[in-house]
Each structure stands twice: as C-alpha cells, then as structure tokens.
C-alpha cells in the first residue's frame, strides 16, 4: 500500500510518523470513512494502540505535549485538550460538534499533530547525532527549552 506525500509516492512502511499523519490528514475519508473530529481521534487512538502493541512510538508523549502547549491540564483526555486549544469558547458535545467547529477542530488537530511529530523527529535526530557523547535531546527538553525552564 502506498500513500502520497508532497507529490511523492512512498510505501506506508517507509513513512515517518509525521509523513503518515500528513498522508492521513490529506485524505482522512480514505482511512476512516466519514470525516469528523470524533472519527479522526478514534482512528488516532487505534493507531496509538497498534503502535504500542508492536513496539512503535505511536502517540507516546502526545497528551503531555498538549498539556504543555496549552499551559494547563484538566480532566479531559487528549481529544479534549485539542478541543480546548481549537475551541477556547467551549463546546456542547464532543460527539456532535457544529460543522464549522468540527472543521476547525480537525484543522487544529492536524496542525498540532504535525508540530508534535516535527519536534519528536528533531529530538530523535538530536539523540542520533549525540550518541557518541551520550547527550540526548528529548521532547521534554525541547518543551522546557521553549518554555525557558531548561
């Protein structure tokens, strides 16, 4: 199976997670049928569970990254954290967002997911580059640096 990424066809198994998320984001209906914030988050939760079962990173650190990005925690799981960022005015029901809110929440979800994946790739690249010295850059280090607490 192949996916399209910036005009290039690349086998899914060769895509980075960031490339895969972009591929899904370009054609979500191909992966999950009806496109809504709810179905996309369900798909991503399934993706995360599958990755965890098979030794992949999946969405490890995603919830913590969203909390740091938002600057506060609450009792919502990560989909609620995304909605807090996308819809700061609030929402009535997660299951049936108004069409404009649903569309905006999906756009923000993919923007945040891309930012998270980019930071994680940079952290992974930094760890690979620093293997000889034993100094590694983690997503937490990047987050603390951007917050001025590192």
3-class secondary structure for the chain? CEEEECCEEEEHHHCCHHHHHHHHHHCHHHHHCCCCHHHHHHHHHHHHHHHHHCCCCCCCCHHHHHHHHHCCCCCCCHHHHHHHHHCCCCCCCCCCCCHHHHHHHHHHHHHHHHHHHHHHHHHHHHHHHCCCCCCCCCHHHHHHHHHCCC
* Per-residue pLDDT tens over the stretch 81-122: 999 999 999 888 877 899 999 999 999 999 999 999 999 988
CA distance 109 to 91: 15
Q: Which residue has the higher pLDDT, 19 or 147?
A: 19
d(CA 106, CA 109): 5
For residue 20, pLDDT beyond 50 = yes
More confident: 28 or 8: 28
pLDDT for position 71 = 92
Could you tell me the residue range of the domain that residue 85 belongs to? 2-147
What is the rounded average pLDDT of the residues 8-19? Answer: 77
Q: Residue 113's closest CA among 49, 13, 45, 11?
A: 45
What is the domain count for the chain?
Answer: 1
């Amino acid at each position: 199976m192949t996916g399209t990424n910036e005009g290039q066809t690349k086998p899914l198994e060769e895509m980075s997670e960031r490339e895969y998320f972009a591929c899904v984001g370009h054609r979500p209906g191909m992966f999950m049928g009806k496109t809504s914030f709810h179905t996309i988050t369900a798909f991503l939760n399934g993706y995360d569970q599958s990755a965890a079962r098979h030794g992949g990173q999946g969405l490890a650190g995603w919830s913590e990254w969203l909390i740091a990005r938002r600057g506060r925690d609450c009792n919502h799981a990560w989909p609620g954290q995304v909605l807090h960022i996308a819809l700061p005015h609030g929402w009535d029901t997660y299951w049936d967002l108004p069409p404009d809110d649903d569309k905006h929440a999906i756009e923000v979800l993919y923007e945040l997911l891309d930012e998270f994946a980019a930071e994680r790739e940079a952290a992974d690249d930094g760890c690979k580059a620093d293997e000889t010295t034993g100094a590694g850059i983690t997503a937490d280090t990047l987050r603390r640096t951007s917050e001025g607490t590192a």
